[in-house]
Structures are given as structure tokens and as C-alpha cells.
Amino acid sequence: MIARLIALPGNEQYEDEVLTELNMGRRAFVFGAAGIGLVSVAGCTTSNNSVEISAEAPPLPQNTIFSDMYAAKPDEQFPLPAIPYRKIKPRFYRQFVDDPTGERPGTLVVDTANHFLYLTYENGKAMRYGVGLGRAGFEWSGRGVIQYKRAWPRWTPPDEMIARQPELEPYSASNGGKPPGLDNPLGARALYIFQDGQDTLYRIHGSPEWSSIGKSVSSGCVRMINQDVVDLFNRVQNKTPIVVTSLPEPLMHSA
């Protein structure tokens, strides 16, 4: 389905052409139910049927694939609260899409132009997540690998950040960093990006600041909704290749 103007309960109307929640839910459900592996298992196919939906469309059902996707996670080491996902543009919801990257299956691609992160699969498909990125002057691009990943990581701001923000000194490496928790800037999971064997100091990580998704406000790292970074963490392995680049804006029928 294509929605030219969609009104979400408790939210503004989005004039972007975006997939309706029900149709995106079907894509996400089909993908999740298939239990696809990172590289060796074929991807799912999706329907190209489209329907015009007016602003007067009835409210979306309260119990959907997305209400489950972004529900509270009470079993985490630090229980995660539910995300008010209806306040986020639907294009930034986790969803299975056609792969626009041209990268081989099993690659992470951060699209800095559109605030998306893709995990590529076979048959031209990819899992796409909305992300927050670094503000002007703090971006990084290039190729690297996910050297390792951590659940509920400790945050240690680099010396350059402490020089800019002296109030972070209590969390320096010499002071042991900031313990994991809901207020930790790295959130529930972190994936550490290396290039040519060296730590880039850039991370893909969770964030309690879900409202930063789709924006460029961070100090350079790739922010994700905590529920999304938990999902990504479970899909990728150490040494997964990553590309940080700028892609053309996706067609609305796949947005």
C-alpha cells in the first residue's frame, strides 16, 4: 500500500508517501517468520499492490506488528520502556525493503543522506532501520568492519569529546567510564566500527532519545532506537563489513 497522506493517532499528518503501517507490518512479519539467516538463506518477496489512502482513513489498529516491535522489554538487564513509535515517521520503522545499496549480502550500509541503516540479504532485499547521525563536522564515512559488539556497554567518551565537554571528565577512561544503564548514551547494545585494524571511535548504538531518529544531532555515532539495536545486534556477527556512505533518496513506494 502507498499512503500519500496518512494521519497517525496522536501524531501529525505525514505528507511523505510512506507505506501504511498495516502493509509494513506484513513485510516485517513475513521477514521475521521466515527466520532468514545473514547470508546463506534467500530473502522474502513482497507485494507491489498500491491503494490510495485519504487523511480521513479510520484510525490504525492499536495492536499491530509495530506495537509489538516497539513494546517494552522487561526481560532486559535494564528493562526497556516501550517506544511511542506513532510519534516517529513511519519510514523510520524497522522494515524489510528492496536493497538499494549494491553491496553483497551480509553487509551493513549506513545511508547518511536519508538516515537509514541497511543490513543486506540475498535476492536484492535488506532490513532497514531509521537512525540518527552526527551533526555537521562530526561525520565519518568509509568502509570498515564491526570488530566486536557489546550488550549494555560501558560508555567511555574519547579525550577529544572531554576536551569539548569537560563535564564528561567523570566518565573518562581513567575514571572507568559510565556504567551501563538506561541513561547510558550507548543504550542497550553497541557495535564497534574499526577500519584497517584501528578503532574509528564510531559506534552503532542504542539510545533512549528515540526522537533523534531521522536527525543529525549526535557527536558522530549512529544512533538507533533501543529495540532496533537489540534486533540488529542479534542479526550480525563480529567482522561484519560496514559501509558509511550517501545514497540517493529511495523511491516512495519502498520508503
Beta strands 142-151; 133-134: pairing state? unpaired
Round to whole Å and give the CA distance between 6 and 52: 10
- ∠ CA 117-119-122, nearest 5°, is 145
Whether 221 is a known active-site residue: answer yes
**Active-site choice (44, 115, 221, 253):** 221
CB burial of residue 120 (10 Å; 0-12, 13-18, 19+): buried
Grid coordinates representing 175 are 575514571
Q: If you ran DSSP here, which 8-state letter would residue 41 be given?
A: S
Side chain identity at residue 221, one-letter code: C
How many other C-beta atoms lie within 10 A of the C-beta of residue 138? Answer: 15
Whether 205 is a known active-site residue: answer yes
Grid coordinates representing 139 are 561525520
Non-local (6+) Cβ contacts of 208 within 8 A are: 182, 183, 187, 226
User: Which residues have a catalytic role annotated?
Assistant: 205, 221
